[in-house]
């Protein structure tokens, strides 16, 4: 199925929502975990899919654990499983932080949630509402603290990262068609994450979803630096035909 936008110049993000369950997979198991110190179990014990083995830092100031997901992700929720043997109250006050920065070992990134308490061997889900980042940190602020995690699960919204091929009628500099389906919304101060065609007659952008879907909604994010009016009059066409580059599909 083809999604065709007949428009001039710019797209920040295109999110296609089909009738599917978007929160499918715990991606934490594919990342790399580190922690501020190790008492007896390493950081990757929290992403091994086994809640019996838990991480444990030494007693220290501001102990932390960090997951590198190796790429920017749109985080919908994080699930934390606490230890079962003892000391389950040690996790109280821990903060979940998500972002792209490694400043202060990633602990200065935006806060998704603060853990008030988790019972022994219980799992609690924390909604992060689509926060964007490469790193997920757990940190307990304060002196003489220990951080122990039995499992950390991270779920992303697949609807914001389209599995398809994007093309456009022309290219201006480095503003490629796939910029609109990389899951990264416009960042203030730069248009580098947006698409851009040359000035031409009837410019278009097209997404091939590689299969047939029932499309429930299409969300368009425009650029914020300038020229927002250029999207005025753009048409969204959906169908299976490539006639006129897909522009003849139903609107």
Spans of all domains in the chain: 2-21+161-246, 28-156
Q: Residue 104 and residue 109: Cα distance in Å, rounded?
A: 9
Mean pLDDT of 60-72: 95
The pLDDT of residue 168 is above 70: yes
Q: Residue 97 and residue 152: Cα distance in Å, rounded?
A: 13
Q: What is the mean pLDDT of the chain?
A: 83
- Looking at residue 6, what is its pLDDT? 43
The pLDDT of residue 109 is above 60: yes
* Distances, alpha carbon 10 to alpha carbons 37, 60, 159, in Å: 46, 49, 21
The pLDDT of residue 7 is above 50: no
Torsion of CA 108, 109, 112, 118, to 10 degrees: -50
Among the residue ranges 76-80, 92-96, 148-152, 197-201, the one predicted with the least confidence is 197-201
- Looking at residue 20, what is its pLDDT? 44
CATH of 28-156, one of 3.30.460.80, 2.60.120.260, 1.10.3720.10, 3.90.1150.10: 2.60.120.260
In the chain, % of residues over pLDDT 90: 42
Among the residue ranges 17-31, 47-61, 111-125, 229-243, the one predicted with the least confidence is 17-31
pLDDT tier, 173 (very low <50, low <70, confident <90, very high otherwise): confident
With contact defined as beta carbons under 8 Å apart, do 153 and 121 qualify?
A: no
DSSP, residue by residue, 90-134: GGTT-EEEEES--GGGGTTSEEEEE-----TT-EEEEEEEEEEEE
Q: Residue 124 and residue 49: Cα distance in Å, rounded?
A: 15
Q: Residue 3 and residue 61: Cα distance in Å, rounded?
A: 52
pLDDT tier, 180 (very low <50, low <70, confident <90, very high otherwise): confident
Higher pLDDT, 178 or 96: 96
**Eight-state DSSP code of residue 247:** T
With contact defined as beta carbons under 8 Å apart, do 205 and 11 qualify?
A: yes
Mean pLDDT of 217-231: 79
Higher pLDDT, 105 or 248: 105
Give the pLDDT confidence of 140-161 residue by residue, as tens digits. 999 999 999 999 999 987 654 5
- Looking at residue 160, what is its pLDDT? 47
The pLDDT of residue 101 is above 50: yes
Half-sphere exposure of 237 (CA within 13 A, CB side): 22
Give the chain's count of helices (H) and strands (E): 0, 12
């Amino acid at each position: 199925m083809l999604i065709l936008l007949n428009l001039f110049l710019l797209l920040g993000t295109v999110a296609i929502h089909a009738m599917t369950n978007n929160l499918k997979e715990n991606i934490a198991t594919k990342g790399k975990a580190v922690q501020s110190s190790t008492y007896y179990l390493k950081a990757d014990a929290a992403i091994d899919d086994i809640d019996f083995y838990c991480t444990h830092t030494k007693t220290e100031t501001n102990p932390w654990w960090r997951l590198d997901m190796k790429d920017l992700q749109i985080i919908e929720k994080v699930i934390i499983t606490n230890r079962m043997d003892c000391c389950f109250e040690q996790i109280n006050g821990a903060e979940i932080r998500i972002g792209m920065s490694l400043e202060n070992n990633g602990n200065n990134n935006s806060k998704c949630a603060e853990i008030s308490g988790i019972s022994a061997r219980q799992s609690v889900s924390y909604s992060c509402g689509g926060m964007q980042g490469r790193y997920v940190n757990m940190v307990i602020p304060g002196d003489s603290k220990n951080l122990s995690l039995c499992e950390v699960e991270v779920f992303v919204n697949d609807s914001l990262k389209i599995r398809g091929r994007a093309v456009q009628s022309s290219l201006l500099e480095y503003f490629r068609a796939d910029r609109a389906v990389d899951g990264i919304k416009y960042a203030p101060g730069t248009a580098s994450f947006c698409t851009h065609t040359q000035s031409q007659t009837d410019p278009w952008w097209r997404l091939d979803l590689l299969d047939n879907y029932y499309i429930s909604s299409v969300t368009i994010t425009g650029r914020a630096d300038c020229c927002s009016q250029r999207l005025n009059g753009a048409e969204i066409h959906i169908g299976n035909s490539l006639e006129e580059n897909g522009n003849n599909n139903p609107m």
